[in-house]
Amino acid sequence: MLILALDTTTTEGSLALARDGRLIEARSGLGERTHGERLPSEITTLLGLHDAALRDIDRFVVAAGPGSFTGLRVGIATVQGLALALGRKAIAISVLDALLEIGIAPDSRRPSPPEAILAWMDGKRGEVFAALYLNSTEPEAWRLHLGPVAERPDTLLERWAGDLNRPRLSVVGDAVTACRNLLETRLPSATHLVGDLPPIAGALAVMATRPPWSENAHAPHAIQPVYVRRPDAERARDRRRQIK
């Protein structure tokens, strides 16, 4: 099965090709242009490099969020349009789940496997999108423990302090670098910080071949974004109603 995955939740975004659970290539986008401007050419280029065409894609995967509202809409609309035109199904996966996937990958800089992973994504406006995952041993599986939320980093670390006090905690996401001093101050000294990330789309493409995500392939129109917080337009509309 040939899979094309798109992530448009950040300014750069990324796209990836995978076949039967094996990543072929993942590449980041060029943040100087909008997703709408560059996605068509980036998709064509990636497919061409691997002697593939859109008609060869068996399944489309898209990052469902959280992230930029505009970026989410562009990515989801692109996948919906392509899947609908080709008669294919599509899968939507949370970016926070993708950060978990990246966090549990083997890492020579980490002395032992993590028992907890804190997905830590830049939410703009001085906030982070976050979720805490724990490794459940009966059966062996990761599960969502807290979140997802959009909140100020210092407030969130204080509120979740008891759950984050773990000897084998990893923090993974694009907000790690900006929050490094805060994280090092508030979290256990052995916490492993991962801010240098591979393209998110690569994780999405591989995840889509495994349960539970492989079981959630739907008709394109069924894809729903994961905003975590309400869109600006809705909040502005509520403020106008209050003024009236």
Q: Residue 106's pLDDT is what? A: 82
Residues 6+ apart with CB under 8 A from 139: none
Q: Residue 100's pLDDT is what? A: 97
Reference 84, options 73, 76, 72, 93; nearest CA is 76
Instruction: Give yes or no for a contact between 118 and 170, defined as CB atoms under 8 angstroms apart.
Output: yes
How many angstroms separate the CA atoms of 238 and 244, rounded? Answer: 10
Q: What is the mean pLDDT of the chain?
A: 92
- Which domains are present in the chain? 2-94+199-239 (3.30.420.40), 96-194 (3.30.420.40)
Q: Residue 92's pLDDT is what? A: 97
Q: Residue 113's pLDDT is what? A: 87
Instruction: Give yes or no for a contact between 64 and 8, defined as CB atoms under 8 angstroms apart.
Output: no
Q: Residue 75's pLDDT is what? A: 96
Cα 56-60-62 angle, rounded to 5 deg: 150
Q: Residue 173's pLDDT is what? A: 97
- Asked if the model's pLDDT at residue 30 lies above 60, the reply is yes
Q: What is the mean pLDDT of residues 13-26?
A: 96
Q: What is the mean pLDDT of residues 143-164?
A: 97
157-212 tens-digit pLDDT: 999 999 999 999 999 999 999 999 999 999 999 999 999 999 999 999 999 999 99
Reference 103, options 12, 200, 214; nearest CA is 200
How many angstroms separate the CA atoms of 10 and 173, rounded? Answer: 12
> Which backbone phi and psi does 56 adopt, to 5 degrees?
-85, -15
200-207 and 95-103 helices, crossing angle to 10° = 90
Residue 141, beta-bridge partner list: 136
Q: For strands 116-122 and 22-28, give the pairing.
A: unpaired
Rg (CA), the chain: 18
